[in-house]
Every structure is written in structure tokens, then in C-alpha cells.
Amino acid sequence: MLSQPEPACLVIADITGYTGFLAGAELDHAQDILAALMSTVVTAFRPAFKLAKLEGDAAFVYAMTPVVDSAELQDTIESCYFAFRRLLRDISRASTCECNACVLVPKLDLKVVAHHGEVVRQRIGGWEELVGSDVIVVHRLLKNHVAEETGFAAYAMYSEGCLAAMGLDDPAAAGLLEHREEFEGVGEVVGWIRDLEAAWRDELDRSRIVVEGKAIAKTYSIDVDAPRAIAWDWVTSPARRLQWQYGATGITMVDGTAGRRGVGTVNHCVHGKDTFVEEVLDWQPIDYLTLQTQLPGPVPKLVNSFVLVDLEDGRTRIEMRVARPRSAKDRAIAEQMLPMLDLSITEGLKALRPLIEDAAAQARSAATGIEEPDLPPSRARNLREPIAAGAG
């Protein structure tokens, strides 16, 4: 039986400047640096996306899905870029080598294109090959004029097909810039651009707010048999929260950037006749988020952080840390509220564990029998075996 077309989100992350980097660099160190960068990029997309193939200095990943969580996709792409930039920074700081490869590392950058459409999956042995016109489109999108027309060295481009799957009706309000490209055999493709360099600067400048140390009044935790990315989705997605958050009957975003969840997002969390107003104070996918919640009545605002700890064996520890109120008056009120908090938080986390573990089991089952291309190993020779600049 012939394979049928299926909806998929297709993403290519391409390292820019690599051709010039390779031309003026020592090959051994250049290969190690590329391997480390590609591993970082691919890892940032897992497990939601699978690696279709490595294409030189680009990684082609995909997720079989008819719809795309707008906030999750944008967070994933930006988190990928942040990890990429941190690795460039760490390589530059850690290496004592002065060869051309190591000196030229800061000139590398990343662009990402995302498209949604239909693909046909062809099995060749244990491998999956994606074919179809939308696979051609996402690759054509790499050959664009974004840098010339916008000056952006690093950017994410979302096609209109991707935005439709994301349900993002007003991309301009979401901070995206319209861009049009004409491709032979494809026609005009409309894309929307985010400046990743600007996002990286904002990331470096923002303050970190996480409940830790002596500021913790109480910690609730569960260990789940699932990677952090899946746990993060269930902790942060409003639709998923309704399936486990104790007493919640509705969660509506009333303020924040369209199509995003993050710092400044304000939600109305409905519990029967009562409405809790929660504001996101800090948002660091997939590490932690910090919320400030105003409960009904004359009670102090509660601050708590969800912290996701990688247990390094495929499992994740989810900690909900409740902050200690600063004033003695607020602490006294919080003490009276503690039995109610204990019940709602404990029951919520109890309901959350099987949902996350079931989602992880389904993801593992879907991946059974499908092999992904191996990532090239990095031997870190630029750190262990420095060579003279300009040497052959």
C-alpha cells in the first residue's frame, strides 16, 4: 500500500558563515566545532521533533502533527538559538587554541526556517525519508534575501502555512516582520521573521526570578518517567493544565504577546465562582517558570516556581517551590492558607504524574522502529590539542 500524505511541521536549522569558516580553518578543529554545534541544535529540538537528516551544516527536523502549539514552537526555536550562542561563547572562552578555526568561531551564526504542510513518509530499512512539495518548500526557504533586506544575521522564519497551523492570526502583533520570497517552480512564499540576535540580547539582559534557598517556604515534588521537554509542556500549556490542576475549570490569557507564553503573560485561572489572577514573572524553557498569583479576598500574592530537574536517566523531577512571604503579617496569613494549598498542590501533582508518563510512553511507542541519523561525535580537540594559528 502506498503511503498517504500526512500533516507535519518541518524545521531546518542552518549554521550561517560555515563555508567561509571552513575555508579558512584547520579541518580537525572545524569538524569538532561543527559536531558540537550540530549536537546542541538537534538536542534542543528533541523529543518533540525527530531528526530527518543532517545536511552538511544544517539539521532538518520534523514533527508529525496537524496543529502546532505557537508558544511551544517559538520557545523551542529560541531556546535552540540560545543554546547555540552559549556554546559559541563557551568554546571561545575555554579554548586556548589560536588556530583559524577557533579564532573564527564567533563569526558563526544560525538561521531557522519553519513550515507546515503535507509529507509522505517512505521507509527505507529502518530509516524514514520525507518527500513531497512541502519538503521542497522548506528547503527553498533557506535560500532567501532576509539578511540583505532586514540586516538580521540570525533569524527564525515562519511560513504562512506554519502560522496557520500555529493559529497565529496576527503575526505582526506577535512581533514578527513580514517577508516575501519568489521561488521558481514554487511561486511566492510569505514568511514572518523574528530577529534571534535581538531575542538573545533580551535573554542576556533580563533578570532571573526563581524561588530558591532561604526564600522557599515549602517544596512539593514528584519524579516522572519522562524527559523535561514533555514535562514542561504539561506544566505550562493552559489546555493541559486543565487536565490536572486541582479545581481549575478555565484558564484564559488576558495579557501578553499574541501566540506566546512567557514573562508578562497574565492568566485568569477560574476555579468555579472564583478567579485567580496569575502573572508570569520569569520563564526559562525548559528549566523553570515563576508565577505570582492573586487569590480572591484580602490575602497576599503568592509566588511560586516550577523547577524541572533533569535526573539524567530519562526522568525528570518537578519541584513546585512556594516562596516565603516577606512581611510577618503576610506570613501569618499564608500559614492559615497552608492546609488549602497542601491539598490543591498535592492533588494536582498526583494527577499530573500519570498524564506526563502516558505522553512520554506514547512518544516512545511512536518512535519504535524508526532510527534517526547518528550525530557526528565531537572530540574537543580544539580544547585538548591546540595548534598554531595558520598551521596546515
What are the pLDDT digits (tens) for 325-367? 988 888 888 888 888 889 999 999 999 999 999 999 998 888 7
Residues 225 and 362 in one domain: yes
Whether residue 199 is found in the same domain as residue 346: no
Tell me which of 204, 232, 250 is where a domain ends.
204
Domain assignment of residue 77, yes or no: yes
pLDDT of residue 392: 43
In a domain, 125, yes or no: yes
Tell whether 167 and 234 lie within a shared domain. Answer: no
Tell me the C-alpha distance between 297 and 369, whole Å: 55
Phi, psi of 158 (to 5 degrees): -110, 125
> Does residue 219 sit in the same domain as residue 361?
yes
Return all residues near 161 (Cβ < 8 A) that are at least 6 apart.
115, 116, 117, 134, 137
Separation CA 163–CA 202 (nearest Å): 24
CATH code where residue 165 lies: 3.30.70.1230
Chain segment 214-249, per-residue pLDDT in tens = 999 999 999 999 999 999 999 999 999 999 999 999
Residues of the chain with pLDDT under 70: 1-2, 20-29, 94-103, 125-126, 369, 378-392
Residues 301, 343 share a domain:
yes
Domain extent at residue 172:
6-204
The pLDDT value recorded for residue 381 is: 59
The answer to whether residues 90 and 200 belong to one domain is: yes
Q: Is residue 35 situated within a structural domain?
A: yes
Q: Report pLDDT for 261.
A: 94
Q: How far apart are CA 193 and CA 199, in angstroms?
A: 12
The count of domains in the chain is: 2
191 and 215 belong to one structural domain: no
Clarify whether residues 125 and 33 are in a common domain.
yes
Residues 182 and 213 in one domain: no
247 with 117, same domain: the answer is no
DSSP state of 376: P
Which residue type, as a one-letter code, is found at position 390?
Answer: G
* Statement to judge: residues 165 and 221 lie in one domain: no
184 falls within a domain: yes
Helix (H, G, I), strand (E, B) or coil at 278: strand
DSSP 108-149: -EEEEEEEEEEEEEEEETTEEEEESHHHHHHHHTTS--HHHH
Residue 74: closest CA among 231, 261, 281: 261
- For residue 29, the model assigns a pLDDT of 66
Q: Hey, what amino acid is at 276?
A: F
Identify how many contiguous H helices and E strands the chain contains and give both numbers.
Answer: 12, 15
pLDDT at position 335? 81
State the chain's maximal CA–CA distance in angstroms: 73
Domain boundary among 142, 175, 204: 204
Domain-embedded: residue 391:
no
Final residue in a domain of this structure, among 175, 204, 233: 204
